[in-house]
Chains A and B, each alone.
Chain A
Amino acid sequence: QVDLVESGGGVVQPGRSLRLSCAASGIIFSNNVFHWVRQAPGMGLEWVAGMSSDGRHIYYADSVRGRFTISRDNSKSTLYLQMNSLRAEDTALYYCARGYCSGGGCWNFDYWGQGALVTVSS
């Protein structure tokens, strides 16, 4: 059974930083691509960032590029999202998701965590 457990969410003031973690179990973490996807309250899904299994390939949405950094520690089976210069519009539930690989790469998300809520407010 694959489990993805996010942590590190909370309430933060605009301009401040926060780091999310996603601990994986039931899966060979180092063999897999992972992504962060967010969902603002009552809104749709938005892809945030993705990282290859070896960490060499990293991708970001335009909305977070330059402010957010995705990273991973394969020895700890943990994915991270460092979020700097946070804005009100970053308020969302942040999901960690495994990238299921197909002909088009690993851009399909078959395992999801329950999410970590980030609220940016003064």
Chain B
Amino acid sequence: QSGLTQPASVSGSPGQSITISCTGTSSDIGGYKYVSWYQQHPGKVPKLMIYDVSNRPSGISNRFSGSKSGNTASLTISGLQAEDEADYYCSSFTSSYTLVFGGGTKLTVL
């Protein structure tokens, strides 16, 4: 099972919005509404930010939103803040009853 494809890096200024893409296939992202997004600060444990494409767990800011179109999922962060600077990973359930992650995207807040 190949990993999902994410851009290696994205950047934005405070207050702006950014979008991170995550591309898979019809056997994972395209076939199911089970995409999640994780935030990981350096040296820290990953944190669940979005599940089932667009749902936020309790306590997650509504500045974080998710969507999906075809084989590509997206995470949008609006009103960018300094503390948003981190690595972001997408994941998807697959038709093989496994889970696949993206390679990760480093977000830099300028």
Contact = CB atoms under 8 A, between A and B. Distances in A.
Interface of A: 35, 37, 44-47, 50, 59-62, 95, 100, 102-105, 107-110, 112-115
Contact of B97 (A44, A59, A114): A59
Interface stretch (B11-19, B45-53, B67-75, B76-84): B45-53
Interface residues of B, number: 27
Contacts of B98: 47, 59-62
Contact of B38 (A45, A46, A105, A115): A45
Contacts of B104: 44-45
A90 B99 CA distance: 18
A108 B1 contact: no
Given A47-B98, A47-B100, A105 B93 contact: yes
Contact of A104 (B3, B32, B57): B32
A47 B51 contact: no
B102 interface: yes
Contacts of A35: 99
A58 to B, nearest CB: 10
B72 to A, nearest CB: 18
A44 B52 contact: no
Contacts of B33: 103-104
Contacts of B23: none
Contacts of B51: 100, 102, 108
B101 interface: yes
Contact of B102 (A44, A50, A59, A95): A44
Contact of A108 (B36, B100, B101, B102): B36
A107 B29 CA distance: 13
Contacts of B57: 100, 110
Given A47-B98, A112-B45, A114-B45, A104 B89 contact: no
Given A45-B89, A45-B101, A47-B98, A103 B52 contact: yes
15 contacts: A35-B99, A37-B46, A44-B3, A47-B91, A62-B1, A100-B51, A102-B52, A102-B55, A103-B33, A103-B52, A107-B36, A107-B91, A107-B93, A108-B36, A109-B46
